[in-house]
């Protein structure tokens, strides 16, 4: 609408498209809950008051609040395409997400980011992107792509790209690595998100002074308070694994709430289905004692303001009519959702019939399974063994005697000592990292995945080499995905043909496939809650203590590749 039309419509000179009448408005601006009628025209809120409208919806006194915003999410963790993600989260009241396509960028670089941008057009869900700052995350593994400061500067000029995503490389910031500073410079004046678990004192001052003004990695109240005192925006995270809401909620007071936000970071299919999305955080925050208006401000206005989204996060003339109708403020049950004035969800169901935007992507699994050599020659002394700690992404750095048969190191399920391989899949280098892992519990068979943070090489763990090879071959055939294999046969699979990270199927189907995989892994002897996810973090060389990449074993504390034996 032109300014002239906006004014004419807001003055009531023409009937509006829609009037949401008789609402109990959760007014995040005035901090009140008050009765109101909300007029909507051409996708935008035009005013509060009694307007002539072509359609009137009587909300019967139900609560109306702005659509929820996820301040930081890796959309890839949903394992579905953006359209399917939208279908999953919008019935939960989410109308906007700020996503960091860090995972797909590590596989496909700029093409991966462009995929997210293209595939998230016309979804009803407003998808904004932060330019991934750390691709690759480290030099100790082979990623599918690199994003230079120059490419980031280019990305930052694209529509819907708001700023620089989580700067995980805080040592690089503090050490003034030129390429890292060039990325910060490229984003100067734009939002730059942080990722600095445990950073404190002068180093934290320096990290903040570098222009990095948010953090979603706080796990501890004191840590969050120190960051908040500098003006760092605290994105309180409640993901599938990392759950920080209860610990951090005491931080939030009315006087500082504008610096507090909700994010999910990573939510897997079954979490989205069973627990929901940002509504889950709002619900828990209220249940745990936060004032409902503050909780809804954290889920809406605060995040819109931080990211400079001046037409989101509030119900005010000129704002996008992204709205949520709640039955009450205790259950936070989402009755209706409007996006740009269109009703897109009702009673948990997504209403629009959307078609997925097909975006051609190149294959990303370049592995010749028959050429992969899983042989581990024996060595002197004790072997380094990755010790899985149930439910955590950190591991133990164990030393154990390897089991040797026919002159080779073999998996020994009786000792819960399994073989693990990370097979480079992006560039066909033939790199294979080999190691041993304890704590997975497989008695037989193998599990494998092309989801393995952050470089997403092909990771496989098995009780014997044949099944490991069969698992690698199965993933190569599927162009990515996750499998469980026993006796050479695939017994469960979740194909992830989009970059080896995301499915082209419905969320429910992916969730069922993931459940079947877990069940299969359990049948093979694994006792972990989510074996595939645990495995996906065993290749992440930025989290202690011992990890395996395609370049070999990484002693994360020493920040060095180390041999299996000795050293």
Cβ-based nearer residue to its own copies, 276 or 313:
313
| Structural tokens at position 369 | 């399974």
Dihedral (CA of 506, 507, 508, 510) sign: positive
Among 63, 85, 124, 259, binds its own copies (CB under 8 A): 259
Counting every residue written for the chain, the total comes to 567
526-565 residues in contact with its own copies (CB under 8 A) are none
144-173 residues in contact with its own copies (CB under 8 A) are 173
Shortest Å, Cβ 55 to its own copies: 19
368-427 residues in contact with its own copies (CB under 8 A) are none
- Which span sits near its own copies by CB under 8 A: 158-166, 308-316, 352-360, 389-397? 308-316
Name every residue whose Cβ is closer than 8 Å to that of residue 290 and which is 6 or more positions away in sequence. Answer: 249, 252
Shortest Å, Cβ 206 to its own copies: 4
Cβ density class 86-124: b for 16+ within 10 Å, e for less: bbbbbbbbbbbbbbbbbbbbbbbbbbbbbbbbebbeebb
User: Judged by CB under 8 A, does residue 317 bind its own copies?
Assistant: yes
Cβ-based nearer residue to its own copies, 27 or 81:
27
Q: Which residue has the tokens 């060389």?
A: 541
**Nearest to 327, CA basis, from 59, 133, 88:** 59
Query: What does the alpha-carbon distance between residue 39 and residue 477 come to, in Å, rounded to a whole number?
Result: 53
Shortest Å, Cβ 7 to its own copies: 5
Query: What does the alpha-carbon distance between residue 504 and residue 357 come to, in Å, rounded to a whole number?
Result: 11
**Nearest to 289, CA basis, from 244, 327, 253:** 253
Among 157, 159, 201, 355, binds its own copies (CB under 8 A): 201
Among 77, 78, 297, 449, binds its own copies (CB under 8 A): 297
Cβ-based nearer residue to its own copies, 174 or 512:
174
Query: What does the alpha-carbon distance between residue 128 and residue 163 come to, in Å, rounded to a whole number?
Result: 10
Taking the CB of residue 268, how many other CB atoms lie within 10 A of it? Answer: 19
Does a cis peptide bond (omega within 30 degrees of 0) precede residue 40?
Answer: no
User: Judged by CB under 8 A, does residue 205 bind its own copies?
Assistant: yes
Among 139, 254, 363, 381, binds its own copies (CB under 8 A): 254
User: Judged by CB under 8 A, does residue 34 bind its own copies?
Assistant: yes
If residue 554 lies in a helix (H) or strand (E), which one and from where to where? strand 552-555
- Which span sits near its own copies by CB under 8 A: 222-230, 326-334, 436-444, 499-507? 222-230
- Which span sits near its own copies by CB under 8 A: 33-41, 101-109, 407-415, 506-514? 33-41
Query: What does the alpha-carbon distance between residue 390 and residue 412 come to, in Å, rounded to a whole number?
Result: 20
Query: What does the alpha-carbon distance between residue 546 and residue 561 come to, in Å, rounded to a whole number?
Result: 10
State the residues that interact with its own copies by CB under 8 A: 3-4, 6-8, 10-12, 27, 29-32, 34, 36, 39, 46-49, 51, 173-174, 176, 181, 184-185, 189, 201-203, 205-206, 208-211, 225, 228-231, 253-259, 291, 293-294, 297, 305, 310, 314, 316-318
């Amino acid at each position: 609408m032109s300014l002239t039309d906006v004014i004419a419509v807001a003055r009531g000179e023409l009937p509006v498209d829609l009037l949401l009448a008789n609402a109990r408005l959760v007014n995040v601006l005035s901090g009140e809950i008050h009765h109101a009628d909300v007029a909507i025209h051409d996708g935008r809120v035009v005013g509060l008051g009694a307007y002539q409208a072509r359609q009137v919806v009587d909300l019967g006194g139900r609560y109306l609040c702005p659509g929820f915003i996820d301040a930081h999410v890796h959309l890839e963790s949903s394992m579905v395409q953006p359209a399917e993600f939208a279908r999953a989260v919008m019935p939960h009241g989410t109308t906007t997400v700020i996503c960091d396509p860090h995972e797909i960028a590590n596989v496909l670089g700029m093409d991966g980011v462009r995929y997210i941008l293209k595939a998230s057009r016309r979804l009803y869900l407003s998808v904004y992107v932060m330019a991934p700052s750390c691709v690759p995350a480290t030099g100790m593994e082979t990623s599918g792509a690199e994003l230079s400061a120059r490419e980031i500067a280019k990305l930052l000029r694209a529509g819907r790209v708001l700023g620089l995503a989580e700067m995980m490389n805080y040592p690089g910031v503090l050490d003034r690595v030129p390429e890292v500073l060039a990325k910060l410079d490229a984003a100067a004046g734009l939002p730059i998100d942080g990722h600095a678990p445990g950073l404190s004192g002068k180093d934290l001052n320096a990290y903040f002074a570098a222009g990095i003004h948010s953090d979603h990695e706080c796990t501890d109240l004191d840590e969050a308070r120190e960051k908040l005192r500098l003006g760092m925006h605290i994105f309180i995270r409640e993901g599938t694994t990392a759950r920080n809401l209860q610990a951090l909620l005491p931080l939030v007071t009315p006087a500082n709430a504008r610096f507090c936000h909700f994010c999910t970071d990573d939510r897997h299919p079954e979490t989205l289905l069973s627990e929901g999305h940002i509504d889950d955080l709002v619900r828990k925050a209220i249940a745990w004692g936060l004032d409902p208006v503050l909780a809804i401000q954290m889920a809406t206005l605060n995040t819109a303001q931080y990211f400079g989204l001046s037409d989101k996060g509030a119900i005010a003339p000129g704002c996008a009519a992204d709205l949520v109708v709640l039955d009450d403020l205790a259950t936070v049950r989402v009755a209706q959702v409007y996006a740009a004035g269109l009703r897109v969800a009702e009673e948990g169901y997504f209403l629009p019939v959307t078609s997925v935007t097909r975006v051609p992507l190149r294959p990303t699994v370049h592995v010749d399974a028959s050429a992969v050599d899983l042989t581990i020659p024996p060595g002197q002394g004790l072997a380094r063994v990755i010790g899985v700690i149930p439910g955590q992404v950190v591991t133990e750095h164990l030393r154990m005697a390897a089991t040797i048969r026919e002159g080779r190191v073999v998996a020994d399920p009786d000792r819960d000592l399994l073989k693990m391989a990370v097979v480079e899949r992006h560039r066909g280098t033939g790199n294979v990292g080999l190691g041993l892992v304890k704590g997975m519990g497989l008695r037989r068979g193998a599990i494998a995945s092309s989801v393995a943070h952050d470089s997403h090489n092909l990771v496989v763990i098995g009780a014997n080499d044949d099944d490991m090879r069969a698992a690698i071959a199965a993933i190569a055939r599927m162009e990515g995905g996750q499998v469980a294999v026993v006796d050479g046969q695939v017994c469960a699979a979740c194909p992830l043909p989009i970059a080896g990270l995301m499915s082209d199927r419905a969320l429910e189907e992916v969730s069922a496939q993931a459940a079947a995989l877990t069940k299969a892994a359990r049948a093979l002897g694994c006792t972990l809650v989510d074996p595939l996810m645990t495995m996906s973090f065993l290749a992440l060389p930025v989290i202690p203590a011992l990890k395996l990449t395609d370049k070999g074993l990484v002693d994360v504390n020493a920040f060095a590749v180390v041999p299996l034996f000795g050293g």
